Structure 1
């Protein structure tokens, strides 16, 4: 199917459509959709709508797009060389793949994607910061520098449902990118819930990048990658007023400074004793809206939460974490054990039967691997 800028199209597997604004390749085009975004879509997932055709009814409203105007013909000898555009941060940003039924938990991710998608454990990696939310994400990113402290690496704004290329690194650089902190402020121009800032510390073992099982399909970017779920949108606190601070007698600005200086580890919400935690992975314990989630999405969410809690426990010197997976059909338990096999210096054993039955696993963390 031949497409050209200006063609009106509808999505084959979803309601709605848009207008083609650019040709990326023989199989991919940019489409301006009704929400005002331009997204890359595969040609096979589009149907061209003929003028005044019956398929026009699939559009809920008109999509306004400013297409580039055709320049008047200029004699060949009068043409001047086109100026070389300056490099901008926009070159690092691209939209996520959100068509053809692709679904993912709304949140902020880091993705380490190998250039060679066939040989995942060799070659360079692209490091993406993924904003799978409807908010602009204002971020600040820091990395540990030779165990002396965190040094700022990058800061920018990522539009909604977009990814930003932080860096391309070689395998030799992996260790320097394995311990960091990401801070994100969520912003919208229109009236919307005000969300608390995201503060996510991560520490990932370099050995994981040399195991093919560490790489998983990430449809939002169309690549296999080592994923870090920095935080999901459902977990962000909605800030409604300053009444809570007023009642405490602490100035809100001072309270904010104190919190920023001493951020809590996410694993701390599950702490049961000094350096020990108990994490219930039943979806009903993690989200209130789980009844609307399909089974495959529930499993993805549970595994992402498990990984985030385990990484946080390792980074903050916890010695033992009990993960409650339940009995069920054993899918979650098997997936957890597969994920745990990617780590060194972890002792895996059954949790106390008297308390958990067969529904939990106990992870003992040796800080030799920190």
Structure 2
């Protein structure tokens, strides 16, 4: 069975579950449990837990979804939860919008990519797609997100989101903020934030307007 970093696995001989955080010599795999402790175990002593932290038969209490009737267009977040002292970081995609999202996430290196997650995410919902050790943030993948926004009501046409994002260690030194959907404090990146167009004309006008006046 092919495992990959971030997979949720269960020990065959013990009642232990955790996420794969490293591959080691002699067919050993490092599995980090909820306490943040990495345990080396033979690959043949692990079994993959399929699914994404939530089973299809789980009843999602649609929270008497009194989310306002106003259509929410913005709020697609890459969020990181967990604490440095615990060791284990969990990466989530949070959908605060009123769109349903069709999502593909890849690990991208040198113009090549490998898919690590693909799923539909409902409006006002979230999903965990990766986990890693805080001690190895610099070795986490560069994530490539491809996101299609879907709405059953008439809305402004939206282009698909195609964006690469790397989590930098320095970003995880900033204060965390509470996220209502996760019910936890997180660091986050806005994936649907419009990048400012710093074209040549804008740069010219900026430097001209800030040029010192000659006396």
TM-score in terms of structure 1 length: 0.35
Contact 1:95 1:161 in 2 (8 A): no
The structure in which a higher percent of residues are strand is 2
Change (3 A) 1:277 1:354: closer
1:270 aligns with 2:125: no
2:101 is aligned to 137
- CA–CA distance in structure 2, aligned partners of residues 141 and 123 of structure 1: 23
Deviation digits for residues 132-172 of structure 1, max 9, x if unmatched? Answer: 11111001111223x46332211110011100111222124
Q: Name the residue aligned to 1:106.
A: 74
Determine the structure 1 residue equivalent to 2:185: 224
- The aligned counterpart of 1:362 is none
- The CA distance in 1 between the partners of 2:141 and 2:131, in whole Å, is 14
Q: Over alpha carbons, which structure has the higher Rg?
A: 1
Given the superposition, is the C-alpha separation of residues 105 and 176 from structure 1 closer, same or farther in structure 2, using an over 3 Å criterion?
Answer: farther
**Is this contact kept in 2: 1:143–1:153, CA < 8 A?**
yes
Residues 252-263 of structure 1: pairs in structure 2 closer than 5 A = none
> Would you tell me which structure has more helix in proportion to its own residues?
1
- How many residue pairs get aligned? The number is 156
Correspondence for 1:91 among 34, 47, 54: 54
The 8 Å contact of residues 96 and 221 in structure 1, kept in 2 or not, is answered as no
- Alignment gaps of 5+ in structure 2: 1-48
DSSP-derived class of the 1:270 partner: coil
Q: How many Å separate the matches in 1 of 2:181 and 2:211?
A: 37
Report the Cα distance in structure 2 between the residues aligned to 1:192 and 1:163, rounded to whole angstroms.
22
Structure 1 residue runs of 5 or longer lacking an equivalent are: 1-85, 236-265, 279-321, 323-351, 358-370
> Deviation at 1:205?
1.9
